[in-house]
């Protein structure tokens, strides 16, 4: 590894913050990828357009205007000076991997390696959460059966006894009419 390669590093948190969930897929916006690669967004999109056959719909898709507006509101992404003429493209994990064959700079290769590592970490994290949720469900089912007697006793304690006698009301009851205390003096002006 050269000195330049050793100095180059992208914090994993920066990449993780760039990964969004859209249409139930983890994706990265074209403008975020362009920033990571150190190129203009237009340059990245032109390179993709020249190689469109490498980017099927499950690798890359364009956001609808509604999705883009919702994303702007949710994340506070700026529209940049002058705005965009069209909604951005987003790239799935496979699309990001394909970008390395389109953008051939050394930086692009290193960025892709870091992005792939981040996607793998996120997948492992999600898998561990699913495993933990499954174990919690198992414990809940097992302990529900063991503590069924306790739950039934609590329910019985919560149910008022029915002895057939009318219940006395608790608290203060105001008389139906309030005796007049006479006329109150007028306030002075």
Query: What pairing do the DSSP bridges indicate for beta strands 25-29 and 89-91?
Result: antiparallel
pTM of the full predicted structure? Answer: 0.58
Per-residue pLDDT of the chain (189 residues; tens, 9 = 90+): 444 444 556 776 778 888 888 898 889 999 999 988 888 999 899 999 999 999 999 999 999 988 888 887 776 665 554 566 788 999 998 998 888 788 878 888 888 888 888 888 888 887 777 777 677 667 667 776 666 666 667 667 766 666 666 666 666 666 666 555 556 566 665
The vertex-126 CA angle with 125 and 130, nearest 5°, equals: 120
Instruction: Give which of 93, 126, 127, 104 is closest to 15, Cα–Cα.
Output: 93
Q: How far apart are the C-alpha atoms of 99 and 93, rounded to whole Å?
A: 10
Task: Give Cβ neighbours of residue 85 (< 8 Å, ≥ 6 apart).
Answer: none
């Amino acid at each position: 590894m050269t000195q330049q390669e050793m100095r180059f590093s992208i914090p994993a948190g920066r990449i993780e913050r760039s990964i969004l969930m859209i249409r139930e897929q983890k994706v990265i916006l074209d403008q975020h990828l362009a920033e990571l690669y150190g190129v203009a967004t237009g340059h990245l999109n032109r390179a993709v357009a020249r190689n469109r056959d490498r980017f099927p719909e499950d690798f890359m898709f364009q956001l609808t205007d509604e999705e883009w507006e919702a994303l702007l509101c949710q994340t506070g992404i700026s529209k940049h000076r002058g705005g965009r003429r069209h909604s951005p493209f987003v790239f799935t994990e496979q699309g990001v991997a394909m970008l390395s064959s389109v953008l051939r700079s050394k930086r692009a290769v290193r960025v892709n390696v870091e992005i792939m590592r981040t996607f793998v970490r996120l997948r492992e994290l999600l898998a561990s959460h699913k495993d933990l949720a499954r174990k919690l469900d198992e414990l809940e089912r097992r302990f529900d059966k063991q503590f069924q007697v306790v739950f039934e006793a609590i329910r019985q304690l919560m149910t008022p006894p029915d002895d057939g006698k009318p219940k006395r009301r608790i608290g203060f009851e105001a008389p139906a009419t309030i005796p007049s205390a006479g006329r109150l003096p007028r306030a002075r002006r």
